[in-house]
Structure 1
Amino acid sequence: MRNTTTFRALATGALLTAAALGLSACAAPAEPAEGSGATMADVMFVQMMIPHHEEAIEMSDLLLDKSGVDPDVVAMAEQIKAAQAPEIEQMEAWLDEWEVGMSGMDDMNGMDHGGMGGMSDDMTSLEEADGADAGDLFLEQMIVHHEGAIDMAEDVLDDGQHPDVRELAESIVSSQADEIEQMRSMLES
C-alpha cells in the first residue's frame, strides 16, 4: 500500500505541474488588480485550489451517499466538506476582488475533473464501491488528494505574498496534514 500511495502522490504532483503548465499555455492569467497585494503566484494558487477543493467535496458527497460506511469515515467526509466549502467561497471572493476570475481554468476544466486530471478513474472506482470498501477507497484517495493540496500550499508559501492567501495556505498545510494522519490511522485499524 505504501508504494501505491507514494506512486499516487508522485503522479498527483506531476499532474498538478502539468495542469499549471497547461494553464500557462492555454491562456495567460489576468494580472491581479493594482494595489491588491496579490501576485501571480497567489492568483495561480487560488485558481487551482478552487477546483481542487470542489473535487474533495465531490469525493465526500460520493461517500456520503453510501450506506454501510464506517461512521468515522463519514465524519471525516463531513469535516472535509465543512472546512473546504467556506474556503472556496473565500477564494472566489478574492478572485473577484483582484478582478481576475478563473481565467484560463475553463479551458483546463474540460481536461478532466476540475482540471486536476487522472482523478476520473478514482472517482468512478469510489462511485462503484460499497460500504467498508468505499470507506477505505475514500481514505486512500483523499490522502493523496490532501498531499497534492499541501504541495500547492507549500508552493504559494514560497512564492506568494498576499497575507490572506498565505494564512489560508498555512491552514491547509496544518489541517490537511492532521487529517492525513487521522485517515492513515483509520486505514490501519
Structure 2
Amino acid sequence: MRILFVAVVVAFLAACTPQSEEAPPVIVPKGPGEQAETMAPGDVGTDRWVAPGEADLKYVASMIVHHRQALEMSALAPERARNETVKGLASRIHDTQGPEIGAMEQWRRQFAENAPAHGHNGSLPEVDHGSMPGMATDEQLAALKAASGTDFDRLFLRLMIAHHEGALTMAVDLLSSGSDVRVEEMANDVVASQSDEIARMKAISLP
C-alpha cells in the first residue's frame, strides 16, 4: 500500500508539473523511529533495494526457526496420528510452511548480497528460541514423538494450535513495526493461512 500510495502521488505531480522541470524526489516512509528515505520518481514501483529495518530482520530470522519446528511436528503425523483430518492438516501445514521457509531464506540471501553496498555488514540478529511465542519445549516435543493414536492427535492439536497462535502474534507485531514490503507480504500470508488452520484444528472432534 505504501508504494502504491507513493506511485499515485508521483503520477499526480507529473501531471501538474511542466515537462521542462525536474520532478522532485519521492519520500519513502520507513518504520517507527526510522529516518525516511528519498527515491527518484523513476524508481517508484521498481525493484530498487531499500534496507529493511531491524523488525524485518528479526521477524524473518525468528519465523524461519518457528516454521522449522512446525515442520518437525507435522512430519510425525503420517506414522503416529489416527485421525484422518489431523493427518490432512499436518500435510497441509508441511506443504505450506516448507515453501514459506524457502521464501524467507531467499529474502535473507538477497539482504546479505545487497547490504554491504548500502553500508550494512549483512549480519542478522541472533534468535532466542525461548522468547518466541508458541514454541513447544523440548519436553513437549519428546512427549509428542512418544505418543501415538488418539493421544498423539490430542497433543498434536494442542501444541500446534498454540504454535500457530504464537506465529500470529509475531506476524501482527511485524505488521505494526516492519518497513519491508516483501516481509509484510509474507507476514500477511502467515496471518491468512494460520488463522484458517487454527479454526480447522479447533473444529476437530476427537473421541
Q: Is TM (by shorter chain) over 0.5?
A: yes
CA distance, structure 2, for counterparts of residue 119 and residue 188 of structure 1: 24
Aligned residue runs from structure 1 range 1-189, under 5 A: 35-66=49-80, 69-99=82-112, 100=122, 102-105=124-127, 108=128, 119-187=137-205
Q: Which runs of 5+ in 1 are unaligned?
A: 1-33
Aligned-residue RMSD, C-alpha: 2.5
The structural deviation recorded for 1:123 is 0.6
Which amino acid is 2:107 matched to? W
TM-score by length of 1: 0.72
CA distance, structure 2, for counterparts of residue 50 and residue 170 of structure 1: 15
CA distance, structure 2, for counterparts of residue 188 and residue 138 of structure 1: 12
Work out whether residues 36 and 98 of structure 1, in 8 Å CA contact, stay in contact via their aligned partners in 2: no
TM-score by length of 2: 0.66
The structural deviation recorded for 1:37 is 4.1
Aligned length, in residue pairs? 151
CA distance, structure 1, for counterparts of residue 172 and residue 133 of structure 2: 20
Which has the higher mean CA deviation after the structures are superposed, 79-88 or 167-176?
A: 167-176
The structural deviation recorded for 1:69 is 1.3
Which amino acid is 2:104 matched to? M
SS at match of 2:76: helix
Q: Which runs of 5+ in 2 are unaligned?
A: 1-47, 113-121
The structural deviation recorded for 1:188 is 6.3
Work out whether residues 53 and 84 of structure 1, in 8 Å CA contact, stay in contact via their aligned partners in 2: yes
Flag the 1:59–1:118 CA change in 2: closer, same or farther, 3 A.
closer
Which amino acid is 2:126 matched to? G
Percent of aligned positions with the same letter in both sequences?
34
The structural deviation recorded for 1:125 is 1.1
SS at match of 1:186: coil
Considering Cα pairs closer than 8 Å and 6+ residues apart, tell me whether 1 or 2 has the greater RCO.
Answer: 1
**Greater Rg over alpha carbons, structure:** 2
SS at match of 2:203: helix
CA distance, structure 2, for counterparts of residue 101 and residue 141 of structure 1: 32
CA distance, structure 2, for counterparts of residue 175 and residue 116 of structure 1: 16
Which amino acid is 1:42 matched to? D
Work out whether residues 157 and 201 of structure 2, in 8 Å CA contact, stay in contact via their aligned partners in 1: yes
